[in-house]
Every structure is written in C-alpha cells, then in structure tokens.
Amino acid sequence: MDDFAWAGSTDSYLHEDRNLVRISSDGGKTVLISDALLTGLNTCPDGSLLFSWIGRGGGTLVNVWRTEANGMEPKQLSFGKIDLNPVCTPDSKQVYYSDPNGSSIMRVPADGSSKPQPVPGTTVPGAIFGDPHVGVSPDGKLLAFVSSVTEPGGKETIVRIALLPLNDAQPHLQFLNPNPHILLAPIFTPDSRALVYPIRVNGVDNLWLQPLEGGAGRRITNFPREQVGAYHFSPDGKTIGMLRHHTESDVVLLREPEAAQ
C-alpha cells in the first residue's frame, strides 16, 4: 500500500513497494526502512515520524510506532490488535489514534512513557467510527473524527463529524453535518478555522473545505478523474499534498472451445 507524509516543507516521505523512503526536493530517494508494511504516515512538529506498522516481528497486529526523522530509533507506542492513523499534538508530546475494535479514540505519550488510554468524551452511543482517521487542530484545541450511526431497522445511516474540545475539564462532543459525499475523516486547516476532507461524486474524488463556524462549504480542487488517498498540509501551511490513484481493469472474453466434429 502506498502512503505519504511531509518531511519539512519541501521533502516528503513515501511508502512504496514495502519501503519507507524520503524524497528530497530534487527527486533523490533515501530508503529509511525496508521490507516493512506501513500505513497512516504522519509527522510531528518536532520532525519525528509516526505510522502504523503491520505485522512487525510476525503476526497480524497493527500498532503505532514512532521514529526519528531518519527512520532510526523505532519506538512502539500502542499494543492493541488494530491501531491506526496516529497524529501528533502541536507540542509533539501526545499521539492520538483510532482503534476500530474499540469505542473511543486513544491517546498515548509520544515518548511511550505510559500506556495508551481512551480519550474521555470520544465515545458516541450506538455509533462506530465512520473512518479510522483522527484530526487534531494546529492550535491544539479540538479533536475531529467521523461518527456513523445506523438508525433502528437499518434504514438510514447518519454520518456526522464529531468535534471534541481538548482543553475542557468536562469535554462534550459537538457535531457538524458534513457534505453528504464525505469519503474520509477531515484534517484541520492551518488556521484551525475549517476542516478539509475528500468527497466522492460519480467515482471522482475532490477536496472539500468546511468552516467550523457554519456557512457554506466549498470544493477546493477540481480533478476530473481519479481518487484521493493520503492528504496533508505542509508544515508551513502553504501547500496541501496528496496521493491520487486510479484503478485500471480489462475485460477478457472467454469462449468455450467448440466440440470436435
């Protein structure tokens, strides 16, 4: 699986062909970790790298790991069965991630000094995570994730963006109604005043910007084809980078051989 994250404002990390590489602005590649199945690449403001490592050491567990910017000094931060898409707080001291097998977003110190704990207030009764990504605002005040609730009888599924204030003594979830074509959980804009997430219409993905204070959202890309994978703002907040992909397929017609005369 391919994935990407920024390495500073010009370089980037890319996971391709089971290798984690750093790509410099001139196109040069340096392999940091080889023969490793990784997903959910992300970077902390201090330059360290986060990801979920699939089956490290054998087995099928998916856990959160942190390394230095050069891929060295790997540190395991989580110990569940499926721990996905870690993201740092602005001070690089805490890491949030999702556990699809649980009912809460999880939090763990970035230095691994204590065990992960559920984040109070992130459990939505009767809901599941609509997407296993988590967003933390650059000002450190809000946590965002997608909550999906199926109405009794299974006739309708309500998808909402859940926002949790992180500095409140008694945090209380707030909810936003997203674009009905929302595909993946949102990330925050650099000014922490809006959310960005992909929408899919007629099989084509584009990015949608939704203000937190209400008002109409708007599409901020205009791609005519393909889908969006990973997407991140650069550390300086001036650029948003993403992976785009498409699926190719061929139709093959098979005929039964004619019986011999």
Q: What is the CATH number of the domain that holds 176?
A: 2.120.10.30
At residue 118's C-alpha, the angle toward residues 114 and 123, to 5°, is 175
Predicted pLDDT of residue 46: 95
Q: Kindly state whether residue 258 falls inside one of the protein's structural domains.
A: no
Predicted pLDDT of residue 104: 86
Of 94, 119, 144, the one marking the end of a domain is 119
Q: Is the pTM of this model over 0.85?
A: yes
What count of Cα atoms within 13 Å lies in the side-chain half-sphere of residue 137? Answer: 19
Question: Tokens in use for 195?
Answer: 């959310």
What is the average pLDDT across 191-214?
94
The per-residue pLDDT for range 95-147, each reduced to its tens digit, is 999 988 777 899 999 999 999 999 998 988 777 777 788 999 999 999 999 98
Give the range of the structural domain holding residue 200, as residue numbers without chain letter.
123-247
102 and 131 both lie in a single domain: no
- Whether residue 83 contacts residue 50, with contact meaning beta carbons closer than 8 Å, is answered with no
Predicted pLDDT of residue 249: 46
Cα gap 240→235, rounded to integer Å: 10
- Decide which of 213 and 255 is more confident: 213
Q: Kindly state whether residue 257 falls inside one of the protein's structural domains.
A: no
Checking if the pLDDT of 211 tops 80, the result is yes
Q: Kindly state whether residue 93 falls inside one of the protein's structural domains.
A: yes
What is the average pLDDT across 69-97?
96
Burial zone of 199 (CB within 10 Å; 0-12 exposed, 13-18 middle, 19+ buried): buried
* Chain mean pLDDT for the chain: 89
Checking if the pLDDT of 247 tops 70, the result is no
Predicted pLDDT of residue 130: 74
Predicted pLDDT of residue 153: 67
The dihedral through the CA atoms of 170, 188, 9, 131 has a sign that is positive
What single string gives the DSSP state of each residue in 140-199? S-EEEEEEEEEPTTSS-EEEEEEEEESS-SS---EEE---TTB-S--EE-TTSSEEEEEE
Of 91, 119, 147, the one marking the end of a domain is 119
What is the average pLDDT across 18-47?
93
How many domains are there within the chain?
2
70 and 84 both lie in a single domain: yes
